[in-house]
């Protein structure tokens, strides 16, 4: 069975590279921009093309597998994670970055069996960095072993976060309250790549000690969650409990000490879960 998942991971790496080529080529052409939930929740034709490319390629090789894809869910498909082998796909994590030519744009492919991540692939395609991890076998970037930072003094930490697409004043207030609290610990600094997948890979690489966000989706963090874990990091919910990838809330850190200290400063709130059925019209 392990050989089957190894073949699947090799296919994920290959199709992520192909997807990256599509993304890089699209940067040189007109990037038609559309919106989804609001005016700052962007999607492009390239997002849709890349997801189609990945799913069709996987279906040819693994016809019985299931999929959770960002654009498929946006089009009305249910976001349900079962025990069956499931590919969790974000065709372009960092669509706003892509639209503006900001150089952190990732193809993210996670693979779960029995609701447990088995491998994760994040291809930061403008940097040409291929991050990979498989359960029990470590995490890598372009073949080099990754390990989280050993810094456990949060006052010497770099923290990553994002502001999300909600512009609801109450949500924005909680986001900035959390940011202010964390800055005033004080930490060395706060950064954001504009891509949840890339931010998680930065934790795995030891570049930042922690990343937290509320409002992300399972496809943003599924692959990155395993990359962080396999690099020696920890995952938890923003309230300090166990992480639930459907909850749209996550803290990824180099250690439990840092994670728990960050959690103390977060003003937690709960966006609608990814697996909550949409309201009937």
Joined tokens for residue 268: 């937690």
Element (H, E) at 93: strand 86-93
Tell me if residue 70 is catalytic. yes
Q: Give whole-number Cα distances, 134 to 5, 8, 54, 139, 208, in Å.
A: 9, 11, 19, 7, 22
Helix, strand, coil share (%) of the chain residues, nearest 5: 35, 25, 40
Q: Pick the catalytic residue: 93, 209, 230, 265?
A: 93
Active-site position among 68, 88, 89, 92: 92
| Dihedral (Cα; 100, 103, 109, 110), 10-degree rounding | -110
Residue 55, φ and ψ in degrees, nearest 5: -65, -45
CA distance readout (Å), 24 to 106, 128, 258? 11, 10, 36
DSSP 72: H
Q: Please give the structure tokens belonging to residue 130.
A: 């291929």
Peptide bond into 186 cis (omega under 30): yes
Is residue 90 among the annotated active site residues? Answer: yes
CA distances to 78, 88, 90, 197 from 228, in Å: 27, 17, 17, 10
Cα 253–chain centre separation: 14
Catalytic residue among 46, 86, 95, 132: 95
The one catalytic residue in 220, 230, 265, 274 is 220
83 classed as catalytic: no
Catalytic residue among 90, 162, 213, 230: 90
**Active-site annotation holder among 47, 51, 70, 213:** 70
Residue 93 designated active-site: yes
Q: Is residue 211 a contact partner of residue 106, using CB atoms and an 8 Å limit?
A: no
Residues with a catalytic annotation lie at: 70, 90, 92-93, 95, 220
């Amino acid at each position: 069975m392990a050989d089957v998942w190894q073949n699947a991971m090799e296919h994920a790496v290959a199709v992520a590279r192909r997807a990256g080529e599509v993304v890089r080529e699209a940067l040189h052409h007109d990037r038609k921009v559309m919106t989804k939930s609001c005016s700052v929740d962007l999607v492009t034709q390239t997002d849709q093309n890349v997801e189609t490319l990945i799913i069709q390629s996987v279906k040819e090789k693994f016809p019985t597998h299931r999929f959770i894809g960002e654009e498929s869910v946006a089009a009305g498909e249910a976001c349900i994670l079962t025990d069956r082998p499931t590919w969790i796909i974000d065709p372009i994590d960092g669509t706003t970055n892509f639209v503006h030519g900001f150089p952190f744009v990732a193809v993210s492919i996670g693979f779960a069996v029995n609701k447990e991540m088995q491998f994760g692939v994040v291809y930061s395609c403008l940097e040409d960095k291929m991050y990979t991890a498989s359960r029990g076998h470590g995490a890598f970037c372009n073949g080099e072993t990754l390990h989280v930072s050993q810094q456990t003094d949060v006052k010497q930490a770099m923290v990553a976060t994002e502001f999300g697409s909600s512009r609801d004043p109450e949500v924005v207030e909680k986001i900035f309250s959390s940011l202010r609290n964390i800055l005033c610990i004080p930490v060395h600094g706060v950064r954001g790549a504009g891509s949840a997948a890339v931010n998680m890979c930065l934790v795995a690489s030891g570049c930042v000690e922690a990343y937290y966000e509320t409002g992300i989706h399972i496809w943003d963090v599924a692959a990155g969650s395993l990359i962080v874990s396999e690099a020696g990091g920890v995952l938890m919910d923003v309230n300090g409990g166990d992480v639930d990838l459907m909850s749209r809330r996550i803290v990824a850190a180099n250690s439990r000490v840092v994670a728990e200290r960050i959690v103390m400063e977060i003003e937690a709130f709960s966006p609608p879960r990814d697996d909550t059925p949409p309201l009937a019209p």
